[in-house]
Structure 1
Amino acid sequence: MIESTPAPDPATGSPVRLQTVAAAGQPEVTPALHELYRGFEQELLVPLWTEIGDLMPAHPRSHAAPHLWRWQKLRELASRAGELVPVGRGGERRAIALANPALGGRPFATPTLWAAVQYLMPGEDAPEHRHTQHAFRFVVEGEGVWTVVGRDPVAMRRGDFLPQAGWNWHAHHNATSEPMAWIDGLDIPFQYAGETQFFEFGRDGISEAERATPDRSRAERLWGHPGLRPVGAPRPGPGSPLLAYRWEHTDRALADQLALEAEGFGGTVEPGHAAVRFTDPATAGDVLPTLRAEMHRIARGAETAPVRETGSSVYQVFDGSGTVTVGERTWTVARGDLFTVPSWQPLSVRSEAGGTDSDSGALDLFRFSDAPIFEALHLQRTHVEGTIR
């Protein structure tokens, strides 16, 4: 998926290239072995004994690399793109994807995850379309844009998480006099690798009714009541029918966890580390079939234990500051910065947030990952301080 296809050998016309190697565990190098390998190449065959170290390693070895993108620079470039790049048909969306430096220039944050900054100028509309890729929007700053999903206008504000299952019609409109940026997350690389993707254009414009700016969408009015499922609502399709998870609820849940910990009760992941997962109100499962989304709050001075997980993640700093270590890379981070955690690379975070750089006084991190895929395949594994579960 992430490597170019080797050019065919001029002598054999085959893209398969095999080398006879004198090494432990390999057959003796002889003219007969060399001839056997040329026969394999001609018939497009690859013997496992030459590839097992790469195909079946002792632990995951991700093609992706840990990497950090600074929000200040991303925001500046998105703003310049807003002045130069139209948002209508053709370009379709003014979305600027993160390209992991180890993935050969592909617009992929990890081998399975897409993350992009999307930018909408005042009064602009992003035209309607749909695709099989599952998606969400997360807002780290600003407000004034409404995403219109299935003709239901949904407000986008700082801290809001807005999931959208695949094959739903959607458009966006900016109802204000200010531009707005947010991040998009999709499973584009996963569907690209599986060759399962479909895309379809919708209407070029949205109706006046869809240009409304309601405080709550129809989806929120029906599904946005804690612990209550509407009896008369039709059985939803894949993905959450709730189209917006508001920051005020997320913030309260995280604050309550840390408050309960201070009172001597349980509920946090580890000391000083609160976390919540966004879930489907109809099933209590993940909001999207292929993507998991969470918010983490790490109290000032707290440090998380190093964790390795199969599958990959992308994090965005929502608020606060701190130090992040992924594998052998360590960065200081601040509001808006994004970073990747490849499969089986250890992650640890130390919060250095305070009242001057965080509304909560803590380091708040938004995270999305491909965990639902690997859990469904029974390939999920987590390693925390010497314990595998």
Structure 2
Amino acid sequence: MKRKDLRYIMFSVALSSMVLLSGCNKYDTPPTIWNPGASYATGASIASVTPANTAVAGVREITVLGKFADSLNSNWIYIGSQTAMVKKFSKGAAIDTLVLYRPPVTGTVEIKIVVPNADSIAKVPYTLESPSTPFDISGINITGTPCFMDLDKNGTIWIAYRGYIYRESPDGLGLPAQYKDTSYLKPRIRNAASAFSRDFADMKFGPGGFMYATFVSINNIYCMHPDSATPYVYATLAANQTQFFDFDDNGNIYTGKSAGIFLVRPAVPRTATAVGDYSGQLVEVRVIKEASGDKYVYVATTSTLYKSKINSDGTLQPKVTVTDVNVGGVAGNDIRSFNVDAAGNIYFSLRSSTTQVYSLYIRESNGQISPYYMDNIVRDNVLTSGIDRLIWGNDRSLYLNRATTGLVASTRLFKVGMLNNGAPYLGRGL
């Protein structure tokens, strides 16, 4: 046997002996990862969610019933990846209640409730529809000021901006027609020197399916068929008598600027009759048919919303105050626009005198004015900010228009799903 082989055999014997001896050593058993005798908190459970399965556009709150930890802080609540904003938490003998504000989340996600130190997580799948649809109107090249718009009885959107009229499909699929040539609107209402210096002040559809419009610093109300190139002066008023206007179902126009509210009847000659005492600059005028069947002229100044009941002869009863925005959490904001739905809820776009940011607000049943989506206070991305105009469609759709001042084109028109139809717009049906 070679010496090399002998050394190899001796090494192998020694190594085997070490392994054999080491197997006789005693080792402590490692602890188990899960302690079956440990004490854990009781996990949450979800019994139901309202609205069931889906929060459609317009839903502001989501209610979750189930069994939860005793204190709100001991429940970690998520909708998708977002921490939920809680409006209300209450414990009951049989069932507990969580009311959550709608978050800036869309699509199918999970509502999850985690109790620290519990061995289970409560979760259910849930779908949130997108609350708004942005329209691409970048081709209109609107900067600096908001446009005015209205819908005809067929739902087509008409957008007015600095002497131009644009037509938009109800679904925001582009601009199939654009009217801005010199034979259309501009020469009929402006002189050559001011062809691009005057802005629309208001626009509504009215009797006969015609489009009616007013302009800044012009005392006329104009009328034109939307497919015509020949607008004409419908009525001429004195200075400060017309800027914002609306129709009742008899074709009467209620209009005003800073000298009060004036009635223009459809019969020729169309003269203006003072029917409402409103001092100060108005920001919007709307005729609303309430659920009672009574018709009112709603008038907004920068700080106060008023209404006056319309008498059978078209005159107005004395105004009453509906709400004042110089109170509560919205003090320091100005009314930019307002509208009313079929259930009588009133919506506002408000402007901050310091930040110049507008958003959508609602007057609650208790009279308080709150952001429509409360999560906008924290994350400002459920709905866009910068809202200047609120226009109801012919269904549950509310259209939001905003001005931009930057050079980069951005979305300025949004179609927002709401829970109710708008209040009947009387002019469109005439």
The TM-score, its normalising length taken from structure 2, stands at 0.25
* Larger RCO (alpha carbons 8 Å, 6+ apart): 1
Structure (1/2) with the larger helix percentage: 1
Q: Which has the larger radius of gyration?
A: 2
**How high is the TM-score relative to the length of structure 1?**
0.27
